[in-house]
Structure 1
């Protein structure tokens, strides 16, 4: 009778790659940098893949005192942006034998209950959006290895921060509108106490203040199409001079502005230019398609997970903000005379 197949071991991988078992452990545990060469690491990975080797994660986790589980804390999933963040984080995590638990704060933004009997016992670390930072106090996430997304690098309690270059995105929007002759601007601002929205307001005001003859007014709105419609309609209705452009903190706010403009009999972009920020699927579903700043949500999640893995390994995370890009579409045009 043929002998039953046996599961390949780390010794088999070591023999196939021509290295020691210790080297196999370093490479497959992602602790090889500075200890073995890139060529050796590649040889070990190829041998493991060819043999179909899978490490015994339960035994390794018990030995290391790790659960290999990370919590991703985000606001309620009202748009696909944070779904993209999760996708990117999970992609990197899976390559390193980690799992990601997605925890959307049930109240959207604000306090939340601990979903674990003890987060500190159940998790190796936390990645959290600054928009859901209050949820960390409930799970005591600030007592775990923590990476903050879209957070003030000077004021965060986390071990590392990963940011999109939001300030540059706002600069790109502002310069685009100024180049089209717009001088009277309405900022439809998200009514959320978060560092990322503070950056948007500060950068827009600073950029416009540097150009003579400009004016800026601000209206606040919850992050919803219905809320934005009401806020934009109140801000755009007479009396007083009407702005020629609306800069929205988010694509949902821009969609609400479209509805408000139609109610007021304003044409986009002939009477009013509108910009967003995110480049959600919504941006190309509305008519005219929205000029907005594209934020790479999946890359954001990848960088967040890579930063947390670096923290767990005692390495310094990659520095530098993630670039963003203005996508010009049909919602902006030269300012009306």
Structure 2
């Protein structure tokens, strides 16, 4: 059975896969069934057809390939083109929801361009992150590192792999591009919210991890509170672990006099630990102590009262990071500018008890 093709020739419309030596349809089979050349099949399935063949012909080739069950030999094509169409996403942990969302965003953009994303954890974000491949240069087209200390990425330095760093020190010139959130603005929004509620005795439950993003939070909080004459700030540190954060907060609340009226936490996980500490001491949230988080994880609305926290557009970070890598690979400048963040006010904050005059 035959019919005319978009370019006026006839083609076989029986889309059953032809018999080949491997039993699998080839690009030659697709070309024969679609009534076009193998070069046209290659252009269409390689997404390089625009301006070279008509949209109607491209649709015909795609429909024919789909009907035949044809899958291109990506390994052979990538070897021929000299790239793997694979990016490595390095994160501090696989269990943190923020990094899962970053991966979701990066993978979505990657899929639109025929790329894959391999995710790889480097504990605590300080590393060192070992090269998970025999040779990253031969296995990857680029690396995206999220919230990692620069010294953790030594395994990928000294190669010509482009490196895109997310939520990291923008002065690090070894990265080809940076994608940052406006972390400082998030802390400023939090501090002004608490100051407006009359809080002056602030406890900062900071991350025990030393990295740019947490250094910015600490410095910005101190800079915001310092000009306020009656404001005091005390900082304690804890790993991103609820029980350790609870213990550190309990110790601080029982040893500091007068007691803090608000706790600013570097993350929602730390905030969950702080909330447990407050309750174990028989105090109320927010009537005795207000608590704030950072990230706006699902956890923020699972606790009671729900957590006032800074919402970070994690998926957007991943999308921007993958887009930056693709731009670099194409020789284009990546987008610039920090991504905005937003303070989400919920039930864990309220006016300070017995505010000072």
Establish whether TM, by shorter chain, passes 0.5. yes
- Counterparts of 2:48 and 2:151 in 1: how far apart (Å)? 33
1:316 and 2:354 equivalent?
A: no
Secondary structure at 1:73 match in 2: strand
Residues 169 and 230 (structure 1), Cα distance of their counterparts in 2 relative to 1, 3 Å cut: same
Q: In 2, distance between residues paired with 1:199 and 1:90?
A: 28
Name the Cα RMSD after superposition.
3.3
**1:112 Cα deviation (Å)?**
3.6
Determine if contact 1:165/1:321 at 8 Å carries over to the other structure.
yes
| Structure 1 counterpart SS, 2:293 | strand
In structure 1, runs of 5+ residues without a counterpart are: none
CA contact (8 A) 2:292 2:349 kept: yes
1:206, 1:169 → 2: CA distance? 13
1:210 to partner: Cα distance: 2.8
Could you tell me how far 1:114 is from its partner in structure 2? Answer: 2.5
**Structure 1 residue 94 and structure 2 residue 111: aligned?**
yes
Which whole-Å CA distance do the structure 1 matches of 2:57 and 2:258 have between them? Answer: 69
Given that residues 87 and 118 in structure 2 are in contact (C-alpha distance below 8 angstroms), is that contact kept between their aligned partners in structure 1? yes
8 Å CA contact retained: 1:75, 1:132: no
Q: How does 1:138-287 map to 2 (within 5 A)?
A: 138-140=155-157, 143-287=160-304
Q: CA separation of 1:50/1:3 partners in 2, compared to 1, >3 Å: closer, same or farther?
A: closer
**Pairwise CA distance, 1:147:** 0.3
Which one has a bigger Cα radius of gyration?
2
Q: 1:37-58, CA deviations, whole angstroms, 9 ceiling, x for partnerless residues?
A: 9xx9988876665554976533
SS in 2 for 1:278: coil
Structure 2: distance between partners of 1:248 and 1:333: 16
Q: Distance in 1 between matches of 2:92 and 2:345?
A: 28
Structure 2 counterpart of 1:73: 90
Deviations 1:208-241 (A, max 9, x none): 1232321111111111101111111111113421
Q: 1:120 to 1:246 in 2, by over 3 A?
A: same
Aligned residues: 330
Instruction: Determine the C-alpha separation between the residues in 2 that align with 1:255 and 1:150.
Output: 23
Which of residues 317, 329, 337 in structure 1 aligns to 2:346? 329
CA distance in 2, matches of 1:242, 1:45: 70
| CA deviations over 1:279-321 (Å, ceiling 9, x no partner) | 1111111111100011121111111111111111111111111
Partners of 1:223 and 1:166 in 2: how far apart? 18
> Could you tell me how far apart the structure 2 residues matched to 1:9 and 1:189 are?
57
Residues of 2 paired with 1:3 and 1:109: CA distance? 54
Equivalent residues in 2 for 1:96-115 (5 A)?
A: 96-106=113-123, 109-115=126-132
Give distance in 1, aligned partners of 2:159 and 2:193: 40
* Post-superposition offset of 1:131: 2.6
**Residue 57, structure 1, aligned to residue 74, structure 2:** yes
Is the 1:185–1:216 contact (alpha carbons within 8 Å) kept by the matching residues of 2? yes
